[in-house]
Structure 1
């Protein structure tokens, strides 16, 4: 049987908006409501096996109900601007998906849904109505189901109501439900009802008398209190019923054939999903026509040839540029390549031939006379146990180049490049093979499907590479790619291979020590609370703090009292339990994330091999994952102690080199502020000097407190801090913080001019650049939302500084790595933590390595002020700082 799904657009958009955090795409458009709406729509369609679909929306303006009652919906708050912006957007997306949209001036979505449900029900169809509005329960029938989303245990489920469900769960029939609404009213729509009558009373009366009018005809048989209320407010109750009643005899203007589902995943929809960055939904799109092919068929103008052996793999004679794509499976490799003007060739390589296959690829990558274009170069270097010379500029990693062009994206896959540069869909590997435990291997696919997907992957690379190169040139990113990002690939590969040694016994002892400390703090908290409770339960903790102890500043959430860190910080001066809870959470985090969390990452060689990512941070910074070794705690002393577990190999030491205040030095250089420049050139303590200038005290009289405040101002300025933000950091009034910032800019006017200029240029150009030409697009500056624009302005102030610092440390890493190799050192670079480099060196090399690090890091960039480096040697990472 055909089934119609009717969706209450405004209701489900509202639910999706509040159910997800605010999300924006690279253009700065809010997307969370649209994303949530589409997920709910698609999930419900699949569950209902719908054959027809209509989404109905309210239009702004009065309806016939306003003529009946001028104050109808008069108390309803306006729609948040962030949601309002998404209403026309979701209609655009639904239009691209060929979804029928029903909306009419003067009518509400409820009436259109009711009319559609009645019309299609009468034609013998099954109907499901998806809404968050219980008013639509009056439409339920044997073949009309009303589904209402409910949040339970952190997830969303649907409560389904047919005729019998309404009777069972509400206590009246669906047509009688509007009678109940007439008696009890509806505050959300400002429907008055009868004052003092709630749902329980209304249901009881209607269950017995079935209508307001019939109950009124039997006033003498009603309870006296209710009878008096009904007699006094009878006309208001009847009016309320009319306001709540859904009209089902309108002509919605949609016939059965108009809303029949074909495919929602159209090329136009794919463009919207890609533009809005709905990555998790992209795999629903089918592979485009022409993407299925057999050996001997054509890929555009290129013929696919399946090779039988390595003998056919003449890579260096294939022509330049040579495009290739390499998929590695446990038992088999799939390698595709195409030289300039050549056919696309596919070779499957099994284990016995792998070493010979790898030898051919090593030769290809090291041959600088052949230009190569591919993706995931770092992973390939791992497979081949290869590092490229720093001067080898023969490989273009298209994903890495794409990152330079648009660093704000969340991914740089072949599918995303296909959509961005070719405006066409290309199925992802995850969509083809599945993920997790259900993932299959390429070898399990039918040969035709496997060849089609792999060959089309290579064709995408071939088609986009000239477009991408042109765009890379337009954004002036060629030098950045070939001189910085490409040589850095081999450096990061080396660091990942080296790993860092961990003393498991020290880590275990640290974990045990934390467990003791956690137990002690837990006992102290229970003593202060007057008894034991589950500290990890926000609900129990909220009860203890705000009911048992009666502490102030209670903030309610949907599930109880808020016990977030900002609430606990406010309570810290009020009661000692707040500080103890903060300490408890910090210790528990240290134990679970670091002390215990690092154990699974220790490999058989006793070392942790983190992954260093080039294509994640929009600032250009390198990030570390699995595990994140850049986030090892240093602020708390007990947190810093975990560094004692990180040790050099026997006979080696750690050499740790750290740039001193590089971002402030860059601020001095970029702003050309003479006071700043003079301070750094003369080696003055910059925070003491700022304190002297801003707080008008002699330099020699600056105490620790003034220096602390000046330090907060210095670094706050770099990050575009607001008056309020500085007031929070220093625990002072907003007015006082504003005076600090004004005084700072009076003393350093060139800094103010530089920051203002950065914002203005970003607004004009849409991006900012680092010293080395790295662009950071800032779409937030074009947002209609003030908060988003303010965020964009802070990015514009900070990105040139933070991005330049990231570029300088990358240059230093390349130079240090290259010098260590060329000069025959056995020392190796292990870690980069923002402005810090950690090298493992044989004891006999430590002085030479120290000198090398200082020399290469201090000469990585030529600034108006000196770049200074602090360097230490130690027997563990803790003692190196």
Structure 2
């Protein structure tokens, strides 16, 4: 292939087809909005393509071309030109102005000519630049630009990462670039209302151009066209063919008032770019901007810089002095340097920032055997009192991890107050992560020093252990992070106060930190022998299931290969194709569930996948996660879910199936220590009870007040029979509606779950709403209020912003409606279990019990209690959990105890 990159000996002009890219980006990226509901998908796609072009092509000169009243001149040739095009989509219109602001921030020249298209502007400038000795790279995905390709004028498509020069055009199309206008004239363009010659497609057009060279020659030698139908079609469309060529030909001599010097590359306005990307919530772009390889101008107004020099503590006297300064100030911000899981990690060092802006680094374990730094025991002796003093406010990022690492030094951190990760999360729980570097970049407009891979849990074979780094290498990164956290906290607290979320931070999330830290530190004992027994049992089950799959398939195949599965389902068995993806028929879970109604193979595949996933996720993995103490130490995340639910990783205990036999078997391997039992306290039907309270539905409230079987009561209401006559199938259907209604269950969804006709499902839901009118009102009013305010909230004020409710994409808007309906229910359930953890933990301390809280999974708390405390703990947990909220219905708690988690359920 010919070299298509621009010559480095000549200046390079990059011309970007801005108007074309806006629409291309809009259609390429799914609907996207900021937390305030501003649509941004086209802006993001456009910005990424422009940055990629600038980075990859490294031009000396650059310009963006936009359309401006662009149809006017060509409509003088043909009034119908582009007349059939609709206006831009409604959610694209506000993005045009934002794109102009992006262009301004990137400091890029803009060219446009009234009445003409961006194509003509680029064509004119390309010719001008070529004459002046430039190599030209046109950034576009539009095939029409092929007509201006020459040895020094090439095309670059950043979405496909392809370069196109004359050789590529000839190889792909079989014609010269300049003949592209003749080719387009023959085949026409229905989108732009450019007429075609009937009967002529791409292949015939190419053959005609290869034979005659251009349209004019073709018309002058029409009698040489061999096929009579083609000859007659051209003869009867001479005028429209000539007109079509005028329409598709770029104008290359527009009177552009621009000099090449005006297009010289300028530095990005870093301040404007950061401000705009923060407003648009382009957090990844903010992170990438410094690494884009783009020249950047200094912002006109810079925030006060973070400290550039840190004091390193070298003596015990300095340790004591620093501890006294923190106590006197009443606050200190801390960021620990450690490697590995916090529950087992030792402090390598500690970054500190005081309210007066001074930053420090305390080195503890640098070099072989901690040769560099102060002695860890000296640090503990100096800092234990102040770090355990709740009156001294502690700040940082992920104070739970700090709590765990300090615990390994014999220090029980108290006074956690300014955890900027948690504060940021409460302001925008839908955000993917709340990394300190991102928050500093967005809010302080500064880049934090990079951390070594070991500090981020990414150490490769060639990377040094954290302790092998010198003090000089780590001091700036951790001390400046402590100062960044200190600077961020006041602004975050102010915003939380403004939206009435500060109380949630102070009264729920921050007090939960030490409890979660103790749970992670304690861990839960795993019976590896029991797990091995279960694993062996599942191995046999998997083997048996494989044989079952082969039996129904009629042959053996690689069950894990999607192409082979598709071949068996749709070629061998000729099952109906329900939906298609980019590569062919889909065989995803939804498809398999529907196909299982027609053939046993899809159901067998589902069962095989379920067994295989449980085996790989838990049975094979759990033994590798057992620590030296024989226990599993999961990590809880407070700042991870949009609803406020806790999540866990390494392992994720939230995903162990509750109601399947294998899920119960896996729970059997989680056991109590010798002389102890596990106590389980689980809210019963908490989300339905919350639905009754929030929706104020009298029928649902009455059922719970009288402690009735809610699914039997619902079946009786919906099917019009006495409760004692409700059969198993009716109760099953009512149960599906009860649990699905808070998730915005549709007739289509209910029909799929119950394998019934959609009309029957619609009738069931309608009858449900007749009897439970309060719930229908709740669903309607919740969505309407969310559209007005932009958010939904729990009974405790936790918010989730719902910008997608305003999406013009119906599928996206419907998903947002379901989330809006569910959030007040599921979010309040999350708040309740957190309140329960606080209440029960306090009660355990007050009673002086040795029992410890181990796990929180869904609506359940699990405790490890000495045998002689089990009954007291059961009563205490039931009382504490049932009294955390005063609802219109009682909160019911199921409690149990046993040697294993399964026994306690």
TM-score range, shorter chain: 0.7 to 0.9
Q: Of 832, 843, 848, which residue of structure 2 is paired with 1:808? A: 832
Q: Of 142, 162, 176, which residue of structure 2 is paired with 1:173? A: 176
Q: C-alpha distance in 2, partners of 1:290/1:15?
A: 31
Deviates more, 1:184-193 or 1:709-718: 184-193
Is 1:583 matched up with 2:592?
A: no
State the Cα distance separating 1:467 from its structure 2 match.
Answer: 3.0
Q: Of 226, 244, 269, which residue of structure 1 is paired with 2:273? A: 269
Counterpart position of 1:365: 387
Is 1:618 matched up with 2:642?
A: yes
Is 1:838 matched up with 2:862?
A: yes
Contact 2:448 2:480 in 1 (8 A): no
What secondary structure sits across from 1:283 in the alignment? Answer: helix
What secondary structure sits across from 1:46 in the alignment? Answer: helix
**1:172-219 Cα deviation digits (max 9, x unpaired):** 221122222233334554544333333333333323432122234344
Counterpart position of 2:212: 209
Q: Which runs of 5+ in 2 are unaligned?
A: 1-9, 291-295, 340-346
Deviates more, 1:128-137 or 1:223-232: 223-232
Counterpart position of 1:707: 731
Deviates more, 1:400-409 or 1:440-449: 440-449
State the Cα distance separating 1:854 from its structure 2 match.
Answer: 1.6
Counterpart position of 1:153: none
Contact 1:501 1:646 in 2 (8 A): yes
Q: Of 147, 157, 161, which residue of structure 2 is paired with 1:158? A: 161
TM-score by length of 2: 0.86
State the Cα distance separating 1:431 from its structure 2 match.
Answer: 11
Q: C-alpha distance in 2, partners of 1:159/1:66?
A: 33
Contact 2:189 2:196 in 1 (8 A): yes
Counterpart position of 1:237: 241
Contact 2:155 2:164 in 1 (8 A): yes
Counterpart position of 1:312: 318
After the TM superposition, which residues 260-659 of structure 1 pair with which residues of structure 2 at under 5 Å, given as runs?
A: 260-264=264-268, 266-286=270-290, 305=311, 307-313=313-319, 314-318=322-326, 319-329=328-338, 332-339=348-355, 341=356, 343-350=358-365, 351=370, 352-385=374-407, 393=415, 395-418=417-440, 424-427=445-448, 429=450, 437=460, 457-659=481-683
What secondary structure sits across from 1:369 in the alignment? Answer: coil
Q: C-alpha distance in 1, partners of 2:736/2:82?
A: 49
Contact 1:56 1:102 in 2 (8 A): yes
State the Cα distance separating 1:809 from its structure 2 match.
Answer: 0.6
Deviates more, 1:1-10 or 1:833-842: 1-10
Q: C-alpha distance in 1, partners of 2:711/2:687?
A: 13
State the Cα distance separating 1:425 from its structure 2 match.
Answer: 3.7
**1:397-448 Cα deviation digits (max 9, x unpaired):** 23323323333333333344446655x3444746999976497899999999
State the Cα distance separating 1:105 from its structure 2 match.
Answer: 4.5
After the TM superposition, which residues 755-766 of structure 1 pair with which residues of structure 2 at under 5 Å, given as runs?
A: 755-766=779-790
Contact 1:546 1:554 in 2 (8 A): no
What secondary structure sits across from 1:692 in the alignment? Answer: helix
TM-score by length of 1: 0.88
**1:434-493 Cα deviation digits (max 9, x unpaired):** 976497899999999977665654444444433333333333334322322122111111
What secondary structure sits across from 1:118 in the alignment? Answer: helix
Contact 1:320 1:372 in 2 (8 A): no
Change (3 A) 1:147 1:765: closer
Q: C-alpha distance in 1, partners of 2:536/2:49?
A: 46
Change (3 A) 1:606 1:527: same
Is 1:683 matched up with 2:699?
A: no
Q: Of 891, 896, 901, which residue of structure 2 is paired with 1:867? A: 891
What secondary structure sits across from 2:329 in the alignment? Answer: coil
Deviates more, 1:683-692 or 1:30-39: 30-39
Q: C-alpha distance in 2, partners of 1:606/1:251?
A: 80
State the Cα distance separating 1:706 from its structure 2 match.
Answer: 1.9
Contact 1:539 1:561 in 2 (8 A): no
Q: C-alpha distance in 2, partners of 1:448/1:95?
A: 40
Counterpart position of 2:343: none
Change (3 A) 1:244 1:683: same
Deviates more, 1:364-373 or 1:487-496: 364-373
What secondary structure sits across from 2:102 in the alignment? Answer: helix
**1:282-301 Cα deviation digits (max 9, x unpaired):** 2344599799x9xxxx9689
Q: C-alpha distance in 2, partners of 1:742/1:103?
A: 57
What secondary structure sits across from 2:137 in the alignment? Answer: strand
Is 1:197 matched up with 2:200?
A: yes
Deviates more, 1:693-702 or 1:844-853: 844-853
What secondary structure sits across from 1:482 in the alignment? Answer: helix
Q: C-alpha distance in 1, partners of 2:337/2:679?
A: 37
What secondary structure sits across from 1:410 in the alignment? Answer: coil
Is 1:54 matched up with 2:63?
A: yes
Deviates more, 1:273-282 or 1:481-490: 273-282
Counterpart position of 2:5: none
Is 1:183 matched up with 2:186?
A: yes
What secondary structure sits across from 2:392 in the alignment? Answer: coil
Counterpart position of 2:108: 99
Contact 2:140 2:155 in 1 (8 A): yes
Q: C-alpha distance in 2, partners of 1:717/1:554?
A: 26
Counterpart position of 1:256: 260
Q: C-alpha distance in 2, partners of 1:290/1:157?
A: 33
Change (3 A) 1:325 1:132: same
Q: C-alpha distance in 1, partners of 2:501/2:410?
A: 21
Counterpart position of 1:24: 33
Counterpart position of 1:114: 123
Contact 1:362 1:384 in 2 (8 A): no
Contact 1:377 1:489 in 2 (8 A): yes
**1:23-45 Cα deviation digits (max 9, x unpaired):** 33322334344333333332332
**1:659-686 Cα deviation digits (max 9, x unpaired):** 0011222223334444333322221112
| Length, aligned pairs only | 868
State the Cα distance separating 1:275 from its structure 2 match.
Answer: 2.6
Change (3 A) 1:740 1:528: closer
State the Cα distance separating 1:824 from its structure 2 match.
Answer: 4.6
Contact 2:676 2:866 in 1 (8 A): yes
